[in-house]
Every structure is written in structure tokens, then in C-alpha cells.
Structure 1
Amino acid sequence: MGRSSTAKFEETLRDFWANRPVRPRRGGKIAGVCEAIGLRYGIDPVLVRIVFVVGAFYTGAGLVLYLLGWLLLPKEDDTGGANAGKRSTSAIVALVVIMLLIPAMMWAMRLEGLIGLVIGFGAVYLLHRNYRERGVTAPSRDAAAAEGNTWVYPGASAPQQPLSELGQDVRTRPEPPAWDPLGAAPFAWDLPEPSEPQPEPAPARPKRRWVTLVTLGIAAFAGAMSVTAANPLSFTFALTLAVLGAGMIIGAFLHAGRGLIAFAIPVAALAVVMAAIPVGGPWRGVEDMQRTFETVEEVGPHYATSVGNIELHMDDMAITTGQNLRTSAEVELGAITVYVPRNADVTAKCTAGQGIATCLGQERTGQNARIEGFDAGPDGPGGGNIDLDLRAGAGSVEVIRD
């Protein structure tokens, strides 16, 4: 059983290499890799492109696979000769592609990227194993004869016996027209052959809108369950994107699911943004939070939201010498602003993963903007102690003294 499976696996790999997709001269957007896969296996090339783009932005695996296809898949050629129809990638293009492959593979050398590469290679293997007959057209009788004087039977996948072995009569012997098989009217030999009947138009493909609707329903349900389970926002978008991707792959075989593209692109962009944000806590909703305090006891230990703004007004709060206040605030996407009393001693730690941090007279911008320091105010030490820990994943953090 094991040997049989191994033999089938090796046979599929050899057959894939011998009959791998050919990048067309027309129709490709960059190198024709997606167009070649779509034509070879009967898949909508637009959906193939979407899968590559999503894989490139989210894990880097899509970019690596595309460059490998550019390097290894032959290009369609019409120069004629014994190898007409295919030509290998030129040396200059191959060198450029290899140079691009090096940083692309370094980008993909993470767990997510490795998983994406395995899924990509597995998808190509399953495509060829189950749909190897799609997109393969037998060479015509005239083309085969012009290439090597060979006879090709209708529907055959390769030329058969050379004409030279069948005798000279096979090529030179005139054949009577099919219009007068009995030869009863010799003058009719000069009449034109009757035209063949026009083929019937192919039936219109049924619209399979249920693929788009069902996939959107499952994606919405999966996202809602992820939010209910308090998963990080980045995980929720990644899960939703995975469901949409699975729907597009299924739709590619059924010639449906194009409507999912409009949903997959913004979800993929949000997934990339959320994955880049260092704050990765559970989903806390969307809220613009404003709090005003008059006493130290009114201040809570922690304030947080996933998307929105947090504004804490302590500027009119009564805090006396010897009193200590410690609080923190956190937002994944938004702004944090804290107003502190004029004469309080403030110790602050302000962090913005992507954005601006303005605290205690200092300012930092860019990635991982971080400020830590102490400020005693215009009256010097005394007047109560306030300890702040403020973090924003993408946005701004600001401490303002009245």
C-alpha cells in the first residue's frame, strides 16, 4: 500500500513536470503564471491572481510561489521547429527572478510563510492529480504532419506512427471526396464539398451565486464567533480571510465566487494592518471613552478599547502630598489623551506601536515610539504622585499638564 502510494505520487510529479502549464504570450498581467495555471486546469485566472496576492501580502508565500512559477514554467513560443510551442525562461530573466527570490524567501521563512508554502505546493499537486486532463488539446493532424510527418488520430494525446513507415502512397494517394463515395457521377468530383453542419451553441453555464452567499455567511459566522471568544482582532480578520479564500478556491472549480474578491481585498488589508500592530489583546469593541475625575478614588486601575479614543481628565482632580495614583490605558487603533494636575508629580510610560507619543515634554514618532520619564511640575517635587502606563497599537499617546 505504501509503495503504491509512493509510486502514484512520483508519477504525478513526473507528469506535472512533463505537462506543466505554459505561460501564454498574451493575457498575462506580469509573467503569465496565473493565466497559465487558469488555462491549464480550467480555473478562472482572476481567482488564481487573488489567491497569489493574498498569500503574498499575508505570509509572503504567494510571492515565492509566483517567482518559482516564473522561473520554472515555460513560455509559449511561436517560432516553429521541433520544440515549437514552448521555450525556457531566458538566462537574464532567470537571473533577475533568482535575485528576487532571495529576499522573498527570507520574508517567508516564518511559521505562517512555511505553512503557506506547504499549502501552495499541496494545492498544485492536487490540481494536477485530479484535473490533469483539463486544458490539454491534442495536436491537429496538419500541425503534426508539418512537424515530423506523423499521423495523429483524432483525440490522441501524441503523434503515432510516422508516415514514412506507412509507405509513400499514404501521403500521395488521392482520396475520393466524401460527397460521392460510390463514384456514380464522375463529373461531381469537381463540385465543392458540402459544408459541415454548424455546431450547436454550448449551453449557458448556470449561475452559482450560492457559492458567494454561503461563503459570506460562513465567514460572518466565523468572525462573530471569534469576537465572542475574545480572540485578538488580527486573528479574527485572519480567520475571516481564510474562509473567504477557501470559498474562492472552491468557486474556481465551479466557475463562480467572483463576488468574494470585493470582500477579500479589504479583509486582507485589515489582516495585514492588525498583524503589524504590536498590541494583541482580546477584542474590546469600538468606543470613544471620556472620563472626568474629581478625587483619586474615582480613577479606575485600567481603561481599554480595541478601536476608538480614550480621554482621561485629571486636571481638576484633588490630589494631595503623599497620595499615590496608578492607572493604565490601552487601545489597539486610536488615541489616548490624559490631562494631569498642574502640581502633581507624574511618572509616565507612553508607547505607540505605529504613530506618535507626546509625554512630559518629549515627542517620538514612527514605529515603536516610546517615552519613559518623570516630571515634577512647575512647583517641584510634592503635590501627590501619579503613575501612568499608556499604550496604543496604532495611533497617538499624549500626556498634557494643565
Structure 2
Amino acid sequence: MSTTKHASPASFEGTLRDMWETRPVRPRSGGKVGGVATAIGLRYGVDPILVRVAFVLAALYGGAGLVLYLLGWLLFPKEGDPVPGRPKPPPEPTSSTLAVFLVVLLIPSVFWLATSPSIIGLAVGLGAYYLLHHAYGDRGTPSTATAAAPADATTEVRPDAAPTEQLATRTPPSWDPLGAAPFAWDLPEPSDPEPPEPDRATHRWLTWATLVLAAFAGGLTSSLGAPLHISLAFALGVVGLGMVAGAFLRSGRGLFVAAVPLAAVAVLASTAPEDVDVVDDALDERTVRPATAEELDPDYELSAGTITLDLRELQLVEDEAVSTAATVGAGDIVVRLPEGVDTTASCHAEMGDVRCLGPSVEGTVDRVTTDLGADGPGGGQLVLDLRVGMGSVEVTRG
């Protein structure tokens, strides 16, 4: 006799099989579009609003959320049509007409998954669903076990026996060992009251920690020169991960309040024209070659990129003084000085490399250097204020 081996429910194969056999059932009422988010929420005991927000966040990553929702709509069965007086009907598979329609929508949607963000969003979504089932797979499924009566609770009773004889042949239940209340022997055995569920930690720190990390992620990408909608997308990704963690820890509902307006601003920023970017000339390279003091602006600024001040052709009359400043968030500042102009350069870098009319210094540098040129004092005076957040500052002659 041969036996068939099944994967353990704790194994990866067993979890996948259980995910399919006990997949969520789309309800007939309560769903917003196809009932996918409501089905997942009812199946695993999580708030459907968090599931809907997760789909919206995933949709921002190359449409991965839309593909996942369509797959759930196609693969999740629908709640059967109830019939009065009959037991709950089994779930019904997706109708053929709706299945064809969903497949037609999925075909162009799959082409959106050719970019890295969409592939990452799809992988994160499937991984989150696997972890959700692995942690809460025992929720939302009716128990098929039935409590059996003890074997020695009753003995065989003849239908033709008299009522007093039937009572005499029955064994009293455990709650009435003296047989004082035979009229109540047919009642079910009393059960011990269920112990109260222990209080769970609210994990309120999750919301604030997620918002701080989201702000850091958005600010970091913005300082590196990323467009506004990309920075917001990174922040939304952190908020989405916080929501996934909150689904397991039963916390983080406050993240929904932050995710909705953040997603709206990200969508608007992604559709805005390129010339309406709040980042001023991000990732730009600006080169300035003034010949006179009038052609030299008092200030140059970039969020990210390189500013080159080529001042080798700058002509200043005797005792003429001119000053200018350059600021770069992330990038480089390069200054080329004329031979005979007296120069005072203030060079500052939060993190990077500074070569300010002298040897190179790395780290956090704040240096002021005065150089009178090869001909000594005279020939005009130039004052420079150069600042970079992360990058390098270089000031040289000629």
C-alpha cells in the first residue's frame, strides 16, 4: 500500500498550497470595486482600509498594485448566492465573462512591469501577502471539527422501553452524578468560560517612527537631486512598509491619514511640467565666464550638480572690489581665478573634499584663505563665499 506525502503546513510548499485552498472569498456586499480588499480583510482579520491603501501605494510603483488587484479579482472566488432555509452555499468561481474581461485588462497591465520600480512593487506585494497568510492564515476559516459526545455518556436505549426504564438505563452526565435532574440530561455539557484575551501592546511608536523615516527618505533623495515626485514616492514606500508592519502589529492606522494626501501630491507632482519643478535646476551643470564685474552675479545656487566659475578673463580696475557666492546641495564647486586679483575665499563643506587655494582637506571643512596672487597686492579684490552640503570645493589660480 502506497502513501502520499504532503508538505508540512509550516513549509513553503505547504503554505502556498494552503494559500490557494483557503484563499479569500469576495463578498457580495461591502466591496468597493471587485471586493478584493474586503475579501483579504475578512479572511485575515485586518482592516480593509489598510488593504486598500496598500493597493494604492503599490499602484504608484509602475502599476504593480493594479496588476495585483486584477489578479485577486480573477483568482478569488465570489460568495455564493444565499438561499433562504438552506446552509451557506459554497463560493462560486469568477464568471467566464468577467474572467475574459479581466484577462484583457491584465495583458496591457503586464507591460507596465518592465521597469524596476514596478517589479519591486510586485515582489513586495506578493511577499507581504505571503507573510500575512503565514502569520494569520488560521483566521477567517470556519472550523470543521465537531465536538463528539463522550462514549460512556449514554447507553443503548430500546425504543419500546418504558420511560422510567429508559431513564434507569442511561448513565448520568458528569455534571449530575447523583441523577437528580434526569429531565435536563439532554442539554449540552457546560463548558468552562473562555479566558479573556490578553491586552496587546498598541505599538503607537510605529506611526511616529514610520513618519520620521519617510521624511528622512524623502529629504535624502531630494538633497541628492531627485525630482519631487520621486522623493515623494520614496516617502510613500516607507509609509507603505509601515502599514504592512502595522497590519501584523495591529497598529499604524494613523499612517492612512498621512498616506492619502502624500499620494495625492505625488500624483500631481508626477504630472506637472518639468519647468515647474521646485528643485532649482536639479542635477545641472552651470559654467560662468564673466569678463567684467557687471557680468558676475552676486549669488549662484544649485540643489545638485556642478557650478564652475571660470574667472580667468575677469578684469578688475585698481582698488575695485567684487564679491560673489555659490551654494550646491550635493555636487561640486570649481573656481578658476585670474593671476593678479587679490582673493579671499571662504570654503565650507558639510561632508566632502575642500581644496581652497591650498592642500586638499576631507571631512567637514570650514576654511578661509587669502591669496594676493603672484604680483602681490593690487589688481582688484575678489571675495568668494563657497558652500557645499555634500561634495567638493576647489579654488585654484589660472
Bin of the TM-score, shorter chain as denominator length: 0.5 to 0.7
Aligned 1:41-190 pairs, distance under 5 A: 41-77=44-80, 79=82, 84-139=89-144, 141=146, 178=173, 181-182=176-177, 184-185=179-180, 188-189=183-184
Q: Relative to 1, partners in 2 of residues 1:11 and 1:182: Cα closer, same or farther, differing over 3 Å?
A: closer
- 1:355-394 equivalences in 2 (<5 Å): none
TM-score normalized by structure 2? Answer: 0.55
- CA–CA separation in structure 2 for the residues paired with 1:190 and 1:253: 45
State the shift of 1:127 in Å: 2.6
Deviation at 1:50, TM superposition (A): 0.1
The aligned residue for residue 32 of structure 1 is: 35
Residue among 202, 213, 218 paired with 1:218: 213
Q: 2: distance between equivalents of 1:283 and 1:177? A: 85
Give deviations 1:225-277, integer Å, cap 9, x for gaps: 33333333233212211111111111111111111112112222233333345
* 2:253 is equivalent to residue 258 of structure 1: yes
The Cα of 1:183 is off from its aligned counterpart by 5.4
Counterpart among 221, 227, 230 of residue 232 in structure 1: 227
Q: Tell me how far apart the structure 2 counterparts of residues 263 and 285 of structure 1 sit (CA, whole Å).
A: 29
Per the TM alignment, residue 138 of structure 1 is displaced from its structure 2 partner at its CA by 0.6
**Distance in 1, Cα, partners of 2:114 & 2:221:** 27
Alpha-carbon shift at residue 63 of structure 1 (Å) = 0.9
Pick closer, same or farther for the CA change 1:181–1:237 going to 2, 3 Å: same
Note closer, same or farther for the CA distance 1:206–1:9 as it changes in structure 2 (3 Å cut): closer
Match of 1:273 among 262, 268, 271: 268
Q: How many residues align?
A: 269
Which residue type is aligned with residue 31 of structure 2?
G
8 Å contact kept, 2:175–2:189: no
- How far apart, CA to CA, are the structure 2 residues paired with 1:129 and 1:186? 48
What is the distance in 2 between the residues matched to 1:229 and 1:153? 68
Question: Hey, what does 1:244 align to over in structure 2?
Answer: 239
Q: 1:261 to 1:202 in 2, by over 3 A?
A: same
Conserved? CA contact 1:44–1:255, under 8 Å: no
Other structure's SS at 1:25 match: coil
Q: Which runs of 5+ in 2 are unaligned?
A: 1-6, 150-155, 160-165, 283-291, 304-398
Q: Which amino acid letter does the alignment assign opposite residue 104 of structure 1?
A: S
Normalising by structure 1, we get a TM-score of 0.55
Conservation of the 8 A alpha-carbon contact between 1:180 and 1:189:
no
Aligned ranges 1:321-336 → 2 under 5 Å = none
1:222 deviation in Å?
2.4
Over alpha carbons, which structure has the higher Rg?
2
**Bigger helix fraction:** 1
* Alpha-carbon spacing, 1:185–1:54, altered in 2? closer, same or farther (3 Å): same
Q: CA deviation at 1:40?
A: 2.2
In structure 2, the CA distance between the partners of 1:58 and 1:301, relative to structure 1 (3 Å rule), is farther
Structure 1: give runs of 5+ residues left out of the alignment.
142-151, 155-168, 287-294, 307-402
Letter aligned with residue 246 of structure 1: L
SS at match of 2:233: helix
Instruction: Report if the CA contact (8 A) 1:23-1:74 is conserved.
Output: yes
Q: Give, in whole Å, the separation in 2 of the partners of 1:191 and 1:82.
A: 25
Task: Tell me which stretches of 4 or more aligned residues in structure 1 moved more than 6 Å.
Answer: 80-83, 172-177, 190-198, 301-306
